[in-house]
Amino acid sequence: MTDRTRPETDLTRPVLSVRDLAVQYYTDDGPVRAVNGVSFDLMPGEKLGLVGESGSGKSTMALALMRLLRAPTTITGEVMLDGDDLITLPERGVRQLRSSKISMIPQGAMNSLNPVTKIEKQIIDTLEDHGGRRDKRELLGLARDALESVGLRRSVGKMYPHELSGGMKQRVCIAIAVAMQPQVVIADEPTSALDVVVQRQVMDTILKLQEELGVAVILIGHDMGLMAQTVDRLAVMYAGKLAELSPIHDIFADPLHPYTELLIESLPKLADRGTFRGIPGLPPSLRSMPSGCLFHPRCPKAFDLCTELAPDYLESEPSRFVACHLHQSQESHAVRR
């Protein structure tokens, strides 16, 4: 990919800082809060995983970070990117930051391409729309560089999406996401609907680009095994909130939250071939949340306090955050009561 000069990044400061992010949908049955008070920092070049069951708010949070949600949805909180708050920034300003500083590989990316437009033109449209006016020859060169950066031949640019395999379409979507060398890429289940071999190829492509460009990646998915092999830290989301955020090695060696522990235990094991373990019960309806800890109706370690009081999301150990009464002091419980 053509080298384009970009200001040096301060590696000691977060490239993305999220504080109290909340997303509320308005429905005929009343407001529904799909994301509720999420806070985290993303460091330059970091790979952060985000897992949780369907409906936990992962994709909604990704769309909120990109400011791609529209009324009747409201987004509150703070999302700081390179000195700009994406929540309060006018739409025109956010539009300029998309693709140039923060981009997204959407869920179901294989179906996100325009079926009647050649691949090359779709990449060029992104560059023109978000990067200002450029010479046509320069745009064409950048589009071809983007294709080559994800392991595709330049000739792919002259093809239509229906002429490509699923894996090639996914690589094209990755090429569009990194064409302008953003600081942050959000990958929302980038390997869904792909076979195992192609999944590995796609992840290798993302990790190669992440290393070459120094981009920070938020990888969203369900596959705990994939996360274990890929990310630096893992955030576990449940019913719109963060349950735990820890370095990947720590979270697998000693999960703090019972939900995290059950997710890890649900992974297939060679020693228990043919045995599948799930998490009892179902996630709560966003229209009717339980009192206290949101996970307590399904938690094997719940006690009386869990049904009465929602735990704070706190740093229980260095670099490890958890929202669970098992890891909060009796003094903090007494103060809150």
Query: Could you read off the pLDDT of 149-175 as tens digits, one per residue?
Result: 999 999 999 999 999 998 899 999 999
Whether the pLDDT of residue 336 is over 50: the answer is: no
**pLDDT tier at 30 (50, 70, 90 boundaries)?**
confident
pLDDT at 132: 60
Q: DSSP 3-state assignment of 327?
A: helix
**pLDDT tier at 231 (50, 70, 90 boundaries)?**
very high
Closest CA to 43 of 250, 240, 233, 316: 233
Whether the pLDDT of residue 1 is over 70: the answer is: no
pLDDT at 8: 61
Quick check: pTM over 0.75? yes
| Pair of tokens at residue 125 | 């449209």
Helix (H) or strand (E) holding 152: none
Say if CB 152 and CB 143 are below 8 A apart.
Answer: no
Mean pLDDT (whole number) for 83-91? 94
Bridge partners (DSSP) listed for residue 317: 320
**pLDDT tier at 109 (50, 70, 90 boundaries)?**
low
Positive or negative torsion for Cα 63, 106, 30, 40: negative
Q: Give the pLDDT confidence of 260-269 residue by residue, as tens digits.
A: 999 999 887 7
**pLDDT tier at 131 (50, 70, 90 boundaries)?**
low
d(CA 181, CA 177): 8
Whether the pLDDT of residue 142 is over 80: the answer is: yes
pLDDT at 274: 64
pLDDT at 134: 75
Question: For residue 280, is the peptide bond before it cis, meaning its omega torsion is within 30 degrees of 0?
Answer: no
Total length of the chain: 337
d(CA 278, CA 230): 23
Percent of the chain with pLDDT over 90: 68
pLDDT at 90: 94
Whether the pLDDT of residue 2 is over 60: the answer is: no
Closest CA to 20 of 81, 69, 87, 83: 87
**pLDDT tier at 198 (50, 70, 90 boundaries)?**
confident
More confident residue, 278 or 313: 313
Whether the pLDDT of residue 108 is over 90: the answer is: no
Say if CB 122 and CB 88 are below 8 A apart.
Answer: no
Mean pLDDT (whole number) for 299-310? 95
**How confident is the prediction for the chain on average, in pLDDT?**
89
